[in-house]
Amino acid sequence: MAEEEEEESEFSEDESELQDNIYSSPRSGSGPRICKMLEKWVPRASHYFDKEHYCYAGHRIVIQESIDSFGAVVWPGALALCQYLESEQEEINLKGKKVLEIGAGTGLVAIVASILGAFVTATDLPEVLENLEFNISKNTRDIDVPKPEVRKLVWGKNLNEDFPRSTHHYDFVVATDVVYHHTALDLLLATISYLCQPGTVLIWANKFRFSTDYDFLDKISNMFNVTHLAEFPESNVKLFKGTVRKLGSE
């Protein structure tokens, strides 16, 4: 109960900042008050929009969302993977493992993975990192779990410099709902290929909507030995794991 009160007061600071923006706008004058507010209000990468509560692995997780970017809301692939990681810890045992998440978004998966004992590096586009860092820090700082690291990783950019393969070997590369209607699918594939070395397990959960999603699965299947781990019919999410194909293997 005490914890809840402390938490509410932290979020309400953000809320009162938003209220300040609304109520500091003039109440009289020519235009309607709401227009004055919109003129004055400047969106920021992680402006507070809403918060969602989740419970995984015995922990209550509060995620701050924003409407400013695709990466600032929780997608169905993230929910499906969290549910799977929580319930199938024998199939995917993250304890003590090095995990790199690409397109980490709000950080929900990274938080759950760290609660399950993984050493997580959560990555995304620069504009998403502020909200990602906020959620990760808020949800892991007071519990005894390995603290996830947050880093910029733009698909296909500076991978050799920022994530050299000689020193950055991951047990798992995790991605949820990174395949959707965007133009960076080839860069995404190249990035996954770069980050997954022999011994790395790719965990990919995605809502399947478009034929391009199946094309991407075909390309992944050419590069990895893929196992279909689970299907979530209510959300159309499919979950796969893959290991790098050895040269010359079928």
What is the spatial order of strands in the sheet that 172-176 belongs to?
149-152, 119-124, 98-102, 172-176, 201-207, 237-244, 224-232
Q: Is 210 in the site for ligand SAM (CB under 6 A)?
A: no
Q: Is 124 in the site for ligand SAM (CB under 6 A)?
A: yes
Which region, judged by CB under 6 A, interacts with ligand SAM, from 9-17, 35-43, 139-147, 178-186? Answer: 178-186
Taking the complex as a whole, the smallest distance from the CB of residue 78 to ligand SAM amounts, in Å, to 3
Q: What is the C-alpha to C-alpha distance for residues 223 and 233, in angstroms, rounded to an integer?
A: 26
Closest CA to 61 of 78, 44, 43: 78
Among 177, 200, 238, 240, binds ligand SAM (CB under 6 A): 177
Q: Is 189 in the site for ligand SAM (CB under 6 A)?
A: no
Q: How many other C-beta atoms are found inside a 10 Å radius of the C-beta of residue 203?
A: 23
Nearer Cβ to ligand SAM, position 36 or 80?
80
Q: Is 74 in the site for ligand SAM (CB under 6 A)?
A: yes
For residue 233, CA distances in Å to 38, 80, 178, 207 come to 40, 10, 19, 10
Nearer Cβ to ligand SAM, position 37 or 184?
184
Tell me which residues touch ligand SAM (CB under 6 A): 69-71, 74-75, 77-78, 103-106, 124-125, 128, 154-155, 176-178, 180, 182, 184
